[in-house]
Amino acid sequence: MAKLKPEDLEKISQRMRKMTILREGSGQAKVTVHMGTCGIAAGARKIMAAILALVEEKNTRDVIVTSSGCAGLCSREPMMTVELKGEAPVKYVDLTEKKVRAIFAQHVMNGNIVVKYALAMGSERVS
Amino acid sequence: MAKYRMHLMLCAGTGCVSNKSIKISEVLEKELKKHKLEAEILVVLTGCNGFCAQGPIMVVHPDEIFYQMLTERDIPHLVEEHFLKGRPVRKLMYTPPKEKTPVPKMSDIGFFKEQRLVALRNRGLIDPEKIDEYIARDGYSALARALTSMTPETIIKEIKDSGLRGRGGAGFPTGRKWEFAARAKAEEKYIICNADEGDPGAFMDRSIVESDPHSVLEGMTIGAMAIGARHGYIYIRSEYPIAVERMRKAIKQAREYGLLGEDILGTEFEFEVSVHQGAGAFVCGEETSLIASLEGRPPEPRIRPPFPAQSGLWGKPTNINNVETWANVPEIINRGASWYSQLGTDTSKGTKVFSLVGKVKNTGLIEVPMGITLRKIIYDIGGGILEDKKFKAIQTGGPSGGCIPEKLLDLPIDYEKLTEVGSIMGSGGMIVMDEDTCMVDVARYFVDFLRGESCGKCTSCREGLESMYQVLTGICEGKGKEDDVELLQELGAAIKDGSMCALGGTAANPVLSTIRYFENEYQSHIRDQRCPAGVCRELIQYLIDREECTGCLLCVKNCPGNAISGKRKEPVHLDQEKCIKCGVCLEVCKFKAVLVE
Ligand SMILES: Cc1cc2nc3c(=O)[nH]c(=O)nc-3n(C[C@H](O)[C@H](O)[C@H](O)COP(=O)(O)O)c2cc1C
């Protein structure tokens, strides 16, 4: 293994932190995929895989991806919730991998809610 | 590098490993594979989490869900429910005593809330066997800073200004100690890390080495640069196999990265570290006997001066510090002396790691700011006394620490305050005792330990402790004499004055402090032949309460001396002649029908 120079420490640290940031519980965005039985049946695992791939592809370390149980709206699964730091969570429904890519690029990375895919009902109305 | 969405930080400290956490990790990996989650979820084996009473422990990030007392059988359900479907499993979470709802997040649990982690900054957050994870948390950046932009003088100044004092017991200012060694002129100088940790029940140092070995190595390397040493030794007890193994791995990794050895970080600085396994005598932890033991001689303390800084290992200037002291060093260099000295009290800066054991609900390893009160430690962190019994005393500082009574619980603890009340900081042991503890018996217990561990070189320590033990045994057996208390005080003073090292110097603390705060218990034993706590066998009798006894005969079955007899559904009879006073009947009786008098 190569002997390190002081600047190499910073490189290792940056590379590793992309992974370990998760343990610090902070991140600019948190994406929660609803993985109840209904969600999984509707394809939530594919959605999860797609998001993880996007996070890696975009090389961003500030996105935390988690799963949660059924959100009580089984007919609209797969679903996910995007929560940017300091902003209200937004639920997206009837997801496909294509929609996920759009949501990731516009909302997660750039902070613009993708209204057409978002759940708009009652107090959760977003537009 | 793959992006994992979840990290399962499974504790692999000694406590959790003995409760099968390694086996649990295997089952975890298997179940994750079964659900095809192995690419999404990472299992990390960490060092000691600290909340050892609840082990095996697993903390799930990013949500910081705290799972406890896991068994292999819990894992399949946990993997499916939480890790696949995202529904945290409540029955595996921690529920505080007397409450009904579990607390999911680690940082909301009382045991963790009041803690402030400096020496243990990486505990549970990294895999201690992966140097990259240490580096991710700013590891070795303090060393880089020291090597590239500091001089030995500015390093020493920073440590001095921080107010850091030795965590191994005596509390000597670390920066000043380094300065002595730095000023000593010699071709060869040495650095030693004292990881002997001989206090029974203490595991602060073991836990640091197990959870973050690189923090100790980095601290030592910075110290070596400051005093001008090229070789360091880690003296660690053989009873700590996991710690020894992790330290060895850490040294190997640091060498491969050029963080130990020649030309460290591309500079001209060189430093090597070797691990030496100690053979386990308590006195080996005393610095001069530790050095003797390292040199292959019997571990007997010698008179100081000369101090190790002048003449230590192989007669060369040597700087010896405790594990926890070393682990604080990188953080001080990184965050600065003024940051560090904001924590703590006037005389004692920073934090201290304690092992909190005995009759508290939450036992384990804690790190708290100096100046915290004993009450906070016992009630907020420790969760109060087991079975809600009455608190009687807390012994701090290891076997030669004093016992502190209830009325002093609001004492903000630091080196000076603890000494004032007749105890010591020591290396950070804390044993909580409840109303069922006999203070004379406790004093006898510690004196028994110390008389066995006295190396025998100083007559006052060797013979004095033996005499103390005889007197205390007499008192516990009801043979105490009127002037025994005075005799004990006199012996205590003689041992303290006539012994070379701090073993004798502090050995009388358990006796003197219990006399100071619990003299009435001594008097009950001596004058009334009574042990108020019902502990000293010669002074107690077990009796059957005929009103309460239902004749279930459980005690009859369990009595090892066949001292209890009786018929079903009739009160039993206890034969005092045959009774060996083991107390089993009291333990098994479900009807409170066994009384102690
Ligand atoms: C009987 C006895 C046992 C000791 N055991 C230990 C020990 O296990 N670990 C330790 O670090 N210091 C122990 N010490 C204290 C050491 O002599 C020494 O003060 C310490 O290692 C210095 O490091 P520090 O300044 O960082 O505390 C012991 C002292 C005595 C008298």
The answer to whether residue A61 scores a pLDDT higher than 70 is: no
pLDDT of amino acid B357: 94
Q: Name the band, by pLDDT with cuts 50, 70 and 90, for residue A120.
A: low
Size of interface A-B (CB pairs under 8 A): 113
pLDDT of amino acid A124: 44
Residue spans of the domains in chain B: they are 6-110, 131-341, 351-434, 439-527, 541-596
Q: CA A34 → CA A94, A106, A116, B548, distances in Å?
A: 12, 20, 19, 58
Domain at B131-341, CATH class? alpha beta
Q: Stretch A93-111: mean pLDDT, rounded?
A: 91
Q: In what order do the strands lie in the sheet with A63-68?
A: A63-68, A29-34, A80-84, A90-92
Which phi and psi (to 5°) does residue A6 adopt?
Answer: -50, -40
Contact between chains at B61 and A56 (C-beta distance less than 8 A): no
Interface membership of B87 toward A (CB under 8 Å): yes
Distance CA(B343)–CA(B185), nearest Å, equals: 35
Which residues form the pocket of ligand 1, taking CB atoms under 6 Å from any ligand atom?
A: B 166-170, 172, 194, 196-198, 282-283, 285-287, 320-322, 325, 427, 501-503
Mutate which of B160, B287, B349, B400 for ligand 1 pocket (most atoms within 8 A of beta carbon): B287
Under 8 Å between Cβ of B363 and B53: yes
3-class secondary structure, B547: coil
Interface membership of B268 toward A (CB under 8 Å): no
Distance CA(B197)–CA(B182), nearest Å, equals: 26
pLDDT of amino acid B91: 95
Instruction: Give every residue of chain B whose pLDDT is below 50, as ranges.
Output: 1
Q: Whose CA is closest to atom 28 on ligand 1?
A: B286
Q: CA B218 → CA B214, B223, B256, distances in Å?
A: 6, 9, 15
Contact between chains at B136 and A55 (C-beta distance less than 8 A): no
Q: Does domain B439-527 have CATH number 1.20.1440.230?
A: yes
Partner-chain residue, chosen from B7, B139, B148, that has the shortest CB–CB distance to A6: B148
Domain at A27-121, CATH class? alpha beta
Query: In this structure, what token pair is assigned to residue B190?
Result: 């040495």
Distance CA(B260)–CA(B269), nearest Å, equals: 9
Q: Name the band, by pLDDT with cuts 50, 70 and 90, for residue A85.
A: confident
Query: In this structure, what token pair is assigned to residue B453?
Result: 């561990």
Q: Which among B259, B179, B258 has a CA at the least distance from the CA of B216?
A: B259
Closest CA in chain B for residue A1: B256
Distance CA(B342)–CA(B152), nearest Å, equals: 24
Distance CA(B262)–CA(B503), nearest Å, equals: 39
Contact between chains at A48 and B265 (C-beta distance less than 8 A): no
Contact between chains at A5 and B84 (C-beta distance less than 8 A): no
Closest CA in chain A for residue B263: A3
CATH for B541-596, among 3.30.70.20, 3.40.50.620, 3.90.1150.10, 3.30.530.20? 3.30.70.20
Q: Which among B282, B321, B314, B322 has a CA at the least distance from the CA of B296?
A: B314
pLDDT of amino acid A26: 66
Under 8 Å between Cβ of B234 and B276: yes
Integer-rounded Cα radius of gyration of chain B: 26
Closest atom of ligand 1 relative to the B170 alpha carbon: 19
How many angstroms away from the CA of B33 is the closest CA of chain A?
Answer: 14
Interface membership of B137 toward A (CB under 8 Å): yes
Q: In what order do the strands lie in the sheet with B41-46?
A: B41-46, B6-11, B58-61, B65-67
Contact between chains at A23 and B266 (C-beta distance less than 8 A): no
Distance CA(B12)–CA(A65), nearest Å, equals: 26
The answer to whether residue A66 scores a pLDDT higher than 90 is: no
- Chain A residue numbers touching B141 (CB-CB < 8 A): 9-10, 13
Closest CA in chain A for residue B260: A3
pLDDT of amino acid B185: 95
Interface membership of A46 toward B (CB under 8 Å): no
Interface membership of A85 toward B (CB under 8 Å): no
Closest atom of ligand 1 relative to the B323 alpha carbon: 11
- Chain B residue numbers touching A36 (CB-CB < 8 A): 85-87
Contacts of B264 (CB under 8 A, 6+ apart): B143, B147, B221, B258, B270, B271
Contacts of B165 (CB under 8 A, 6+ apart): B171, B172, B173, B174, B348, B349, B415
Domain at B6-110, CATH class? alpha beta
Interface membership of B262 toward A (CB under 8 Å): no
Q: Whose CA is closest to atom 18 on ligand 1?
A: B287
Under 8 Å between Cβ of B439 and B511: no
pLDDT of amino acid A127: 35
Q: Name the band, by pLDDT with cuts 50, 70 and 90, for residue A126.
A: very low
Q: Stretch A63-89: mean pLDDT, rounded?
A: 84
Helix (H), strand (E) at residue B21: helix B21-34
Interface membership of B4 toward A (CB under 8 Å): yes
Which phi and psi (to 5°) does residue B395 adopt?
Answer: -100, 125
The answer to whether residue A122 scores a pLDDT higher than 70 is: no
Q: Whose CA is closest to atom 29 on ligand 1?
A: B286
Mutate which of B322, B446, B457, B462 for ligand 1 pocket (most atoms within 8 A of beta carbon): B322
Supply angle C-alpha B192, B241, B55, rounded to 5. Answer: 115
Q: Hey, what CATH topology would domain B351-434 get?
A: Ubiquitin-like (UB roll) (3.10.20)
User: Residue B194 Cα, ligand 1 centroid: separation in angstroms?
Assistant: 7
Interface membership of B132 toward A (CB under 8 Å): yes
